Structures are given as C-alpha cells and as structure tokens.
Copies of this chain bind each other. A is one copy, B any other.
Amino acid sequence: MASTPVTRDTINPKVLECEYAVRGEIVILAQKLQEDLKNNPKSQPFDEILYCNIGNPQSLGQKPITFFREVLALCDHPALLDKSETHSLFSADSIKRASQILSQIPGQATGAYSHSQGVKGLRDTIAAGIEARDGFPADPNDIFLTDGASPAVHMMMQLLIRSEKDGILCPIPQYPLYSASIALHGGTLVPYYLDEATGWGLEISELKKQLETAKSKGICVRALVVINPGNPTGQVLAENNQKQIVDFCKTEGLVLLADEVYQENVYVPDKKFYSFKKVARSMGYGEKDITLVSFQSVSKGYYGECGKRGGYMEITGFSPEVREQIYKLASVNLCSNISGQILASLVMSPPKAGDQCYESYSAEKNAILSSLAKRAQQLEHALNGLEGVSCNRAEGAMYLFPRIELPKKAVEAAKGAKTAPDTFYARRLLNATGIVVVPGSGFGQAAGTLHFRCTILPQEDRIPAIISRLTKFHEAFMKEFRD
C-alpha cells in the first residue's frame, strides 16, 4: 500500500463522526461576526457578540475569587514570600496557604512534573475536602488530578470502550463531551431520555428499557453517565432518585460515571447536591458493591476558573489490576498542570469560618451564587413569556434549555437552508442580536422537539437588555414565519 495524502476521506473516520456543537458552526459564525464588528463597528445591528454558548463565566465579566488568585500568584513566584512588601499586597491567609502548598510540593518545584495522579499533598487536601462534604472517608490514592474534567472523561472512555459493541448509557439531552468522546473512542452511545414534562426527570424504567434495547442489539453496556446538576438541563436529582440509580448500576454491573462538576451550582432551596459516593456509602455500599467515578472541575461552581484547566476524578471500586492501567494512562501524559492542581485543592478546601479572609471570601462567593440564581430566574421567566417557548427552571448548573415550537413555515425555511430548524433559529438569533446559543440538536433531544441551550452567565446588569433583545427577535421571527 502506498502512503495516502491526508484528506477528509483518509483521516480517522471516528474524528469525522465526532461532533461538538458547543464550539460548532454557530460559534464559528459568531467569531466571524466579531471580526467584522472589530473592522467595522457599524456592520451589524448590534454592538457586541454575547457568548451564551458555553459555561465560561469569566469571559462574561465574572471576577475570580481573590483568595484563589493570591495563592496562585504566590505559588507561581515563591520569591515573593520572602519580601516584606508582600504582606501589604496579599492576605495573611493567602501567604499561609501558599507556603503550605509549596511545602507539599517536593523541592517547592511548581515547575516540575508531579506524580502522574497529581501532587500527593494536594490530593490529601482534596480527599479531606471530599470527606468533609460527604461524611464518608476518601482516599488520596483514588484521586487523579486532570487538566479540567474533559481529559478524565476521555480516560474512562478509553479504558472502557473496546469496540462499537461497547455501549455507554448517556442522558439525552447530554453535554456533547460525552457523545464526542464515545465517538472518538469508537463506542456506542446508548441514549436514555430525560423527561422534560417532569422537570427533566430521570426515570429508572427508562434506563431499564434502553439497557434492554441495547442488549437485544448485541451491545455490551459498560457504564452509565449521570450529569448532576444537569447539563444542559439544569435539574438537580433528588436523593431518592440517586439511590435508585445507584441500585440500578449495582444490579446491572455498570460503572457509574458521575459528572458532578456543578456541585456548587444549586439555586433553589428545595434541592441540595449529594455526591453519588455519599449516596452509595449511605446505602451501605462499599468498594466491592459499586464502581464509581466522580468528575469535578475548577471551571464551574462559583469560581468559574475555566482557563486554569484544573479538575480531578475520584475512582472507587476498581480492582488493583485495573487501577494500574488507569495509572498508566495518566502517566502517558505525565501530569496535569500544577496551577490547576493547586486550584482544585483550593476549591475543595476554601477558607473556613474563623480564617481572616473568610468574610471577604464568603462575600465574593455568595454574591456570585445569589446573582446566578437571580439571573436564572429572570431568564427563565422571560423565556416562558415567549410565544411557543416553555422552559423548565434551572435548579442548578449554568444553563437554561428552553423548548421552542417553531411555525411550520420556519421549519420549511430551515429545510430550504439545508439546516436543522433549531440551528436555523439560533443562526437568525445570532445575526439579529449577537446572542450566541447552542441548538438543542447539539445535545440531543426527543424526536419532534426543538430546544436551545443558553447560559445564565451574562452579568446581572446586562440581563434586562438581553431579555429585551431576545424578546424583540423572537416576536419578529414568529411574525415572519407564523403559519
């Protein structure tokens, strides 16, 4: 065989299959419009592009938590710790914490590769944070620090998927990292549908039905992905529902892949986040009963430190032989970035009551979380006021996922434009208002329904203008296409 030039037809077909709408065609169009605006500010009917496509809080003006950044800066440049001026620039708590962290890193070498799972001292801190959160023990050797949650998800898919005969149960709608990763690793996504009518309820009967269907097609289902709080749906699972899910995985021998990156993002008083590990342990299930992976990230929560690419997975219930293979996979990439590792330890062990900086830290944290709750409510209310739009409340996470019923004429116009109706809507919205949302088809949706995902992340003072632009656009759109 001769070598083959690299063309679309000769690359890995799994790459072609993979889709990632969160940064897909609408976003590429948005980047183009932004470029146009830069060159000619009058070229569009709006002043700026508003990226509501992705959970990227700091890109929309959210400020980082001061304590976290002070510690990071001191760790990046430890020479500061010996200078007297430092005490007037940094809080005493930050100086203390940075010194502690540096003492946990062999030789204080933050520029060195760490252990493949991450710096041991930081994993100790994270394990202690998990214990404090759950009330059950956590083992630092179960923690794998990663560059955000995405590489951890890839690692588990790489481990579990042997061929297209291996299936992973995923919610629909889902965060497209899962479908992309399953496609790249050549597995089969086995969908289970969240019930929009009951606030995106996760029904065990649906899990069972889809599992049986997959089995009947010769698919060996290996794991269940649960995103809690939900992305793009924003629902927070009830503890009782979580217990059923744990029992289902235990009975069916499935690895429970728990995406818990929004654990700090719960906005309603009647819901609370419980980690799946806490739920399983509280049911009396230990390592031998259930195999469980929990993903956490520094990108979400009230901190929103997406650019730092920090995160971890906590793995429990794997045999030593399999753990060895997971370790090997981690070691091929040497380690995750140390600033991200430090930040992961900070978010799992923030200032505590009594610490000097606790009040200012808490004020920053609470301002962000209460504002997010308010924005979620305002946007949800506005969306529900639009003709043909219905939207479940965002109990948690960072998104709304409204359902839109489009007039037949709009659906036909989309067909004419050779695009999906929700993409057609999102494109028109962008062109008219500069607001970037992601079409529901990027996440999956029940047949015959249309949605889009919109983050709740624009700053609070911008929300009224966004609502008014969105409302104006929607009314005009419906008027244009009304049957």
Which residues of A pack against B, CB within 8 Å? 1-8, 10-16, 18-20, 22-23, 31, 54, 56-61, 64, 66, 69-70, 72-74, 76-77, 79-80, 83, 85-86, 88-89, 106-107, 109-116, 147-148, 150-151, 154, 158-162, 165, 177, 180-181, 184-185, 215, 218-222, 252-255, 291, 299, 304-309, 318-319, 321-322, 325, 328-329, 331-340
Contacts and interface: CB of A to CB of B under 8 A. Distances in A.
Copies in the complex: 2
B69 A76 contact: yes
Sorted nearest first, the 3 A-B pairs with minimum C-beta distance are A59-B112, A73-B77, A23-B331
Given A4-B253, A5-B253, 20 more contacts: A2-B215, A2-B253, A3-B254, A6-B159, A6-B322, A7-B319, A11-B322, A12-B160, A18-B332, A19-B328, A23-B331, A85-B85, A114-B307, A147-B333, A147-B336, A151-B333, A184-B332, A306-B334, A309-B338, A339-B339
Contacts of A3: 220-222, 252-254
Given A4-B220, A150-B334, A12 B253 contact: no
Name the residue in A20, A151, A184 with the highest tally of chain B Cβ atoms < 10 Å from its Cβ: A20
B332 A1 contact: no
A332 B183 CA distance: 11
B340 A1 contact: no
A73 to B, nearest CB: 4
A388 to B, nearest CB: 31
A112 B58 contact: yes
Given A85-B88, A162-B12, A109 B70 contact: no
A447 B43 CA distance: 67
Given A8-B325, A15-B158, A162-B13, A332 B2 contact: no
Contacts of A184: 158, 332
Name the residue in A222, A318, A334 with the highest tally of chain B Cβ atoms < 10 Å from its Cβ: A334
